[in-house]
Structure 1
């Protein structure tokens, strides 16, 4: 049985991955979709032609993986692609954001992604892909977005190293480092008081980001960066002094 697994599938980039994967991969038997909100997952399922298996699970908690691991063991599928799209961020200085939210960002963005990857890897084979949704925030520290940016730096670093480890099995890992995307993400990340900021000028539509990510994954690229502005930003973070970069990042949230 050939399947694709997508976390964070109820909204945003995760939901868009599900939609585009179905149109690109006609040989799939099932798509397994994972997110907290079962009603949203049922809505996604209603729009699909491919058979969908729903896992309503909060990946901030280790127990959420038990049902997924049991299903993998039961069906022993050939996982052609794993998309780790579950994640969230909060804007604000460290002292302004609750300790629960700070820790939850680490649990979901880092621990959840890592645990999911580890339980799925044994079921992948030559030609399989892992797509990890990181962020352009992975390229440098970001004041007022410090924990989120740090978690995405972890995702990129983990993806780079994992890709080297699994290439001997013919498995490819791609880190998606997009800039701001027009999804529900910023509704969660920002408060009403935050309003708009410079990052809104660089917003991309999810369809565009996912299309580029899937194309880059198909080509076996380690990194998927969508758009000239984010590619330029990546170069800038490499050549400019960190003090300058930090000042620019501080400005973006004003």
Structure 2
């Protein structure tokens, strides 16, 4: 069994996976599923097989070429890895498909409307979150018959406020979008620096969009090296690349 976190709110088969249980080595040690990484491709493909087997055996995995956008793909069938569309969220109403988003500090968000039989997954880095990737996911789910009043959402492992130091220009982007966004920033240890709460911001966007049930797992990818890959941690160490973990959801 591949270790993974789950949300009490999501009835559909799902999981927020980390780095445990894979076959990659070196800086990618564990369950690196990033096709865009410089890891051995055979190891990455085996890790992806293991990830699917750990959540929904026999399902067809669908992932994206993630570009930090607010673009959403409505999935009606399997998509080969070599033609992954550039986007940052997926939705479907088709059983047998397993939607996956890759992260390494960004926030993975999984969605489900059990009554409508519609699920979604979004990759919400700060850029995509600010652009409205979660709002766009809800709209795409509604086009398949979902009702955002029934949708449950869960925000998985991502970089936490204590680990996410940012500068003045970063803060300004959010303040220009909405002055009240300043509440997601706390004073940093160093002068002229702030700590950004990505998880809280994503939860806010979901609640403001009308999602009544939101679960935040509160898991810090940067701080927990044993369980999670982290782009920022790898950058701080001067490592040449980093692994990616995957979050998955599908219909039974």
> What range describes the TM-score normalised by the shorter chain of this pair?
0.3 to 0.5
Q: Greater share of helix residues, 1 or 2?
A: 1
Q: Which TM-score applies when normalising by structure 1?
A: 0.39
Q: Name the TM-score, length of structure 2 as normaliser.
A: 0.40
If asked which structure has higher relative contact order (CA below 8 Å, sep 6+), I would say 2
